[in-house]
Amino acid sequence: MAEVPLQQLHAVWREQHGILFKAKTHDAIRLRMHRAFSWMKKADEFAIPEDADARLIFSWVAMNTLYAKWDSDRANREPEWNTRESFLIRMVEGDTEGRIQKTLLVNRKLCDRLLSEEHLINSYWGNPSEDEARKARSKPRRIGKHYHVAEEVIKILLPLMTCITMLRSQLVHGMSTFGSSANRAVVEAGAVIMFELNIAMLQIIAEDGLWQDDESWMPVPYPPMRPHFRRDS
């Protein structure tokens, strides 16, 4: 599957954005897409393998701006992992062209590399042993059949994103050395997968009409706000 150039996809969305802006509607998805494209354009500046860490992190931020929610009720706030999972399920359900499945199939070796990496599985760190590592290495074989069944692609996407979430956390929380040779293979794989999955999801939203469900994109965390008081520069 040829990856759609980011610039081309952004041009498609800008046209739709202009229509929605004039109609003064769909503010939530317009803001989310504006933010997502800004981070994706930055991610695209970083090459693999030289800057895989940066490409992965900026690609993650781009996805995060699409799914993030905010609720002032801290006690009853939905966990982030649950919000992200609901978003990914919605993406797969709205993927009428099979874009996500095609992305995973084309990059199956990289997906399997991430899924089989014990250092990206939470249970391994609870008991970092050879037995736990062996369990992790068997995961791609257990879920391999789902690559070819459109209705089951979510069974690959969710565990894959769990692994990438762990990798993301190791990088942004300083639990990894920048450019370390110890994790190059998984960082490079993660950078490729995150960027290309984002392209697929942006296509689903922009070209396949998922932007139309206005309510599902609300509320947008931290929308632009004018200051209530003038501040001296």
Closest CA to 60 of 95, 28, 36: 36
In the predicted model, what is the mean pLDDT of the chain?
91
Question: Is 187 within the bounds of a domain?
Answer: yes
Phi and psi torsions of 102, nearest 5°: -65, -40
Is 53 in contact with 179 (CB distance < 8 Å)? yes
Three-state DSSP class for residue 207? coil
Helices in 44-153 by DSSP H: which ranges? 52-67, 80-93, 99-106, 108-115, 122-126, 130-137, 139-143
Is 206 in contact with 13 (CB distance < 8 Å)? yes
89's tokens: 């399920």
Is 123 in contact with 116 (CB distance < 8 Å)? no
Closest CA to 178 of 30, 10, 87, 53: 53
Give the model confidence (pLDDT) of 113-162 as tens digits. Answer: 999 999 998 888 888 888 888 887 888 888 889 999 999 999 999 999 99
Per-residue confidence (pLDDT) for residue 80, from 0 to 100: 85
Which three-class secondary structure string do you get for 26-71?
Answer: CHHHHHHHHHHHHHHHHHCCCCCCCCHHHHHHHHHHHHHHHHCCCC
Question: Is 222 within the bounds of a domain?
Answer: no
Q: Does residue 68 register a pLDDT over 70?
A: yes
Question: Is 75 within the bounds of a domain?
Answer: no
Is 110 in contact with 193 (CB distance < 8 Å)? yes
Per-residue confidence (pLDDT) for residue 2, from 0 to 100: 42
Question: Is 193 within the bounds of a domain?
Answer: yes
Give the model confidence (pLDDT) of 189-220 as tens digits. Answer: 999 999 999 999 999 999 999 999 999 999 99
Phi and psi torsions of 97, nearest 5°: -95, 0
217's tokens: 């994109």
Q: Taking residues 65-80, report their average pLDDT.
A: 77
Quote the number of domains for the chain: 1
Question: Is 171 within the bounds of a domain?
Answer: yes
Question: Is 31 within the bounds of a domain?
Answer: yes
Q: In Å, what is the CA distance from 223 to each residue of 67, 102, 219, 220?
A: 14, 34, 9, 6
Question: Is 228 within the bounds of a domain?
Answer: no
Domain interval for residue 154: 7-67+80-217
Q: At 205, which amino acid appears? A: I
Question: Is 24 within the bounds of a domain?
Answer: yes
